[in-house]
Amino acid sequence: MRHLIAVCVMSLALPAWAEGPSPVKVAELSARAYAAGMAAGDPLLVLSAAKLRKSLALVASDRAAVDGLAGEGAPLGWEEMLASAAELADGDEVVLGLIEDARVETTKGVASGPVYNIGSLGNGKGDTYPPIEFRGGEYAEVYVEAKAATNLNLGVYDDKGRLVCSDTDISHIAYCGWTPASAGTFTLKVENKGPTGADYALMTN
């Protein structure tokens, strides 16, 4: 069953962005596949996550939370994912061959990938970002992920302070997607509900 899931996820790595998930959603899918693969000890699922992550063209920005702390590093990279897959492969030459193929293969990626910044939150702390403008009638996406095993919550508020989207599941990742009725600014709030402090990546489309 896990191998069937891996095949399904790998199919998403094909560059059919016009018909498939958005780059921000792919970032989320790759993180979920990676977490599931690590939990299950399945190198093929982790490999699938790496292939998805490699297809993205992440763009660093100087965006920062109000009075927040900047984190270090970058979002979880496909190289790190492949290294984890190789460890889980435990000498399986067939799987290791697939991992090496993924390492050397070239990918066109998307023309404009998610914009990200790295923030840092202690246990029980929160970050609020200055209002960000999104276009009316176009699907808007916000996504956060941490490498550490913590619990991140995400909330999106309109210019009147109304909550328009939230993700409060117990997880180190959180995703919000909505379609603004008209162009406007939205405030993003990230909370770390613990149990540890962590750097996190915030991505938007």
For β-strands 173-178 and 140-146, DSSP reports them as: antiparallel
Q: What band does 4 get if pLDDT is binned at 50, 70 and 90?
A: very low
**Is the same domain home to 37 and 96?**
yes
CB neighbour list of residue 45: distance below 8 Å, 6 or more residues apart: 2, 5, 6, 9, 33, 34, 36, 37
- Assess if residue 14 is contained within a domain: yes
Mean pLDDT of all residues in the chain? 90
Same domain, 13 and 97: yes
CB 76 within 8 A of CB 27: no
Q: What pLDDT does 41 receive?
A: 97
153: which residues sit within 8 A by CB, 6+ positions away?
A: 166, 167, 168, 174, 190, 191, 192, 193
The pTM for the full model equals: 0.86
Check whether residue 125 and residue 198 sit in a common domain.
yes
- The whole-number pLDDT of residue 108 equals 66
- CA distance linking residue 13 with residue 109, whole number of Å: 10
- In the chain, what percentage of residues exceed pLDDT 90? 82
pLDDT class of 9 with cuts at 50, 70, 90: very low
> Is residue 110 scored above 70 in pLDDT?
no
Same domain, 81 and 142: no
CATH, residue 173: 2.60.120.380
Domain of residue 23, residue span: 2-60+75-104
Structurally, how many domains does the chain consist of? 2
Has residue 109 been placed in a domain?
Answer: no
3-state secondary structure of 187: strand
Radius of gyration of the chain (CA): 17
